[in-house]
Amino acid sequence: MTSSEINVSFEFFPPKNKESIVSLWKNIKRLEPLEPRFISVTYGAGGSTRENTHSLVKEIKRKTSLTPAAHLTCIGTSKSEIEKIAEDYWDSGIKHIVALRGDERQQDNNQIKDFKYATDLIKVLKKRFDFEITVSAYPEMHPDSKSMDQEYDVLKKKIDLGASKAITQFFFDIDCYFKFMDGALKRGINIPIIPGILPVTNCKRTLEFAKKMNCKMPKSLIEMFNGLDADPDTRKLVATTIVYDQCKKLLNGKVNDFHFYTLNRADLSFAICHILGIRTLGKDYKND
Ligand code: FAD
């Protein structure tokens, strides 16, 4: 496989303060010359960061050559609110939505119950606008699911409703991804299911999140970070090695699409893309 056949996309989250906005844009600009397929912006659990998602997505569209994809969650949101957001995106030229359920806020009895699943959101979005819809997929099973069969059935439903792509939850067990893909093919699921790649720089935090999300972290990987708590530079080098190894195994299995969870830092994703042969086509990076 040549580097020209490899497609990448990058995920960012909306910044909370002015300092992070400056840093975020520096990171977006760093990755822009790599010409990713799209760049996605996550949607916060509530309140002000949601507005930040809307404005960041529209700003990316206005100020860069990138194609933004807006994450949108539906749980606890009214149908009219979702319709308003959808209309605003469509009118602003944002045509790609990553449609998600999101997570319920605990013990909130007054929560609006217009939506139960991501499938409900896709129905509402597709009813009025022909958005490109990307959805989630869970090779190690979503914690709320009862079986892998349920996982595939839900993915099939999403495709029937108009989803054309899926991005996986991050994973470290490559065989698990390939097993998931085999299962999908056997069930006639043939949309692209892009592996979500998380460069781990903070092992402890990732481990906590991985446990919640049902994602196995191999002991060998955890051991690579032992003794590096106070050494972020070395952690980064270790992270690059791990991600490169992951990508190489995926490439060997004929995977040519990668979605990087950048955590708003471009350096690791940039380095991996460079190793994979994705270059900036003469637009050399100036560290200013
Ligand atoms: P769903 O696909 O709705 O599935 C949730 C559970 O319900 C599963 O167990 C599923 O099997 C079951 N289910 C789904 N549909 C049906 C149905 N029709 N009938 C019966 N059962 C059903 N969270 C955020 O808050 N903001 C983000 O920006 C964000 N981005 C993400 C991006 C990616 C690529 C991924 C993988 C996750 C992201 N998440 C985000 C996290 C996500 O919101 C949580 O994992 C959430 O718990 C599930 O959302 P979902 O869309 O996967 O849910």
Hey, which of 49, 106, 117 would you mutate to test ligand 1's pocket, going by the most ligand atoms within 8 Å of its Cβ? 117
- What CATH code is carried by the domain that includes residue 19? 3.20.20.220
Whether residue 285 lies inside any domain: the answer is no
User: Is residue 283 in a domain?
Assistant: no
pLDDT at residue 280, as a whole number: 82
For the Cβ of 143 lying below 6 angstroms from any atom of ligand 1, the answer is: no
CA of 163 to the centre of ligand 1 (A): 14
Active site (catalytic) residues = 11
pLDDT class of 284 with cuts at 50, 70, 90: low
User: Has residue 87 been placed in a domain?
Assistant: yes
- Is residue 288 situated within a structural domain? no
Q: pLDDT per residue over 115-158, tens digit each?
A: 999 999 999 999 999 999 999 999 999 999 999 999 999 999 99
- In angstroms, what CA-CA distances link 22 with 15, 31, 92? 9, 15, 23
pLDDT of 111 reads 82
- What is residue 44's predicted lDDT score, i.e. its pLDDT? 86
| pTM (two decimals) | 0.96
The answer as to whether 281 is a domain residue is no
Q: What pLDDT, in 10s, does the model give residues 28-50?
A: 999 999 999 999 999 986 566 88
The total number of structural domains in the chain stands at 1
Does some domain include residue 222?
yes
Whether 282 is in a domain gets the answer: no
pLDDT tens readout for residues 185-243? 999 999 999 999 999 999 999 999 999 999 999 999 999 999 999 999 999 999 999 99
Task: Give a yes or no: residue 181 inside a domain.
Answer: yes
Q: Is 144 in the pocket of ligand 1 (CB under 6 A)?
A: yes
pLDDT digits (tens, 9 = 90+) for 77-107: 999 999 999 999 999 999 999 999 999 877 6
Does 286 score more than 80 pLDDT?
no
pLDDT exceeds cutoff 80 at 166: yes
List the domain range (segments joined by +) for residue 138. Answer: 3-276
